[in-house]
């Protein structure tokens, strides 16, 4: 297996192992600048072995660990951002994250989160045994170390990488502050988990209870599809081309869920738990546990909320 791939002059990717065996690894990106420094995008899951892997990679490229000047996160999820604190402490590098994900990352550790989710799961009809399992995932999320963020970035910002013009593209949906990083000179876009070559990211992880992540995500797909002439460097799997086509396929995948929920609209009102049990899931309903179960329930709520809007009804009716 090739753990390191060179994509362009001064840009490499590194496969960083993660705990999710199905995905296997995330992709960290290393970028040189014209001042002799190195910059990291999405360093990956935090562990001693991953820190050693990344530092060995840095040295193999002829750099020292202290040459790392910045760490940019496409979103705050731990399989992409978990190593950021360790790397920042070892290098004094600046850590950058979109402002919306700074808020989302802070919110998961608020003391009242467990009580809030307990009430929410009660309204959603979750049985007590399953509710206890789901609340344990809430506690685990809340126990993560806080991310140390030095720079809150926004749509249109240019990363502080000397000699390169890498622009932030805000793409809410997978998380509130998900971003892509666009290099128009090299025709590359580092897209995080927003669009992946063969699998489909979950929507709304870390979203506020009042938000509409399905709408946000579908609009973000339309926005980033304009970069179809760019090579896509994703957060998992492999580099690919044909971004516009993949955006269409990804939108259709998620709208199938909306249409599936719409097909039950004429039946008596059901709780999200009852509805989720009737829907199709990869591996089947009984395979869903922990974070996967929590995400499935949220998807039902988000898609139902989207279906209740004129935009959602139009999308379902048009068969897009």
CATH number at residue 11: 3.60.15.10
* 234 in a structural domain: yes
**Interacting residues of 265 by C-beta distance below 8 A, sequence separation 6+:** 307
User: Would residue 120 count as lying in a domain?
Assistant: no
Count of domains for the chain = 1
Token reading at 133: 């399992």
Rounded CA gap, 118 and 245, in Å? 40
Residue 161 structural domain:
4-108+144-318
pTM (2 d.p.):
0.94
User: Is residue 40 a part of any domain in this protein?
Assistant: yes
Sign of CA dihedral 245, 246, 249, 252: negative
**Percent of the chain predicted with pLDDT > 70:** 97
Backbone angles phi, psi at 170, to 5 degrees: -75, 125
pLDDT in tens, 87-135: 999 999 999 999 999 999 999 988 899 999 999 999 999 999 999 999 9
Per the domain annotation, does 268 fall within a domain?
yes
The pLDDT value given to residue 1: 41
- Confidence at residue 23, expressed as pLDDT on a 0 to 100 scale: 82
In whole angstroms, give the CA distance from residue 35 to residue 282.
Answer: 47
User: Which residue ranges of the chain lie beneath pLDDT 50?
Assistant: 1
Neighbours of 136 (CB within 10 A): 12
In a domain, 137, yes or no: no
Q: Kindly state whether residue 139 falls inside one of the protein's structural domains.
A: no
Judge whether 248 lies within some domain.
yes
> Is 114 domain-assigned?
no
Q: Using one digit for the tens of pLDDT, what is the confidence trace for 137-161?
A: 999 988 888 999 999 999 999 999 9
Taking the CA atoms of 70, 193, 57 and 168 in sequence, report the sign of the dihedral they define: negative
């Amino acid at each position: 297996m090739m753990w390191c791939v060179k994509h362009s002059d001064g840009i490499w990717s590194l496969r960083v192992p993660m705990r999710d065996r199905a995905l296997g690894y995330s992709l960290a990106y290393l970028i040189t600048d014209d001042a002799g420094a190195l910059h990291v995008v999405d360093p990956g899951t935090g562990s001693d072995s991953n820190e050693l892997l990344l530092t060995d990679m840095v040295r193999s490229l002829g750099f020292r660990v202290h040459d790392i000047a910045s760490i940019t996160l496409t979103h705050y999820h731990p399989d992409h951002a978990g190593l950021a604190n360790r790397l920042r402490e070892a290098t004094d590098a600046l850590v950058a994250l979109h402002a919306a994900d700074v808020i989302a990352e802070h919110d998961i550790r608020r003391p009242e989160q467990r009580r809030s989710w307990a009430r929410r799961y009660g309204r959603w009809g979750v049985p007590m045994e399953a509710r206890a399992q789901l609340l344990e995932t809430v506690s685990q999320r809340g126990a993560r170390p806080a991310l140390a963020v030095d720079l809150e970035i926004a749509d249109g910002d240019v990363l502080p990488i000397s000699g390169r013009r890498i622009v932030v593209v805000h793409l809410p949906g997978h998380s509130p502050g998900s971003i892509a990083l666009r290099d128009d000179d090299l025709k590359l876009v580092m897209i995080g988990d927003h669009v992946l070559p063969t699998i489909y990211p979950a929507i709304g992880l870390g979203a506020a209870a009042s938000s509409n992540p399905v709408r946000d995500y579908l609009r973000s797909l339309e926005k980033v599809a304009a970069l179809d002439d760019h090579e896509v460097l994703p957060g998992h799997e492999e580099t690919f081309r044909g971004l516009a086509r993949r955006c269409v396929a990804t939108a259709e995948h998620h709208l199938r869920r909306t249409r599936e929920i719409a097909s039950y609209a004429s039946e008596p009102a059901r709780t999200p738990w009852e509805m989720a049990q009737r829907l199709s899931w990869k591996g089947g309903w009984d395979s869903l546990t922990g974070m996967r179960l929590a995400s499935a329930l949220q998807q039902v709520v988000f898609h139902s909320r989207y279906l209740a809007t004129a935009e959602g009804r139009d999308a379902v009716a048009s068969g897009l």
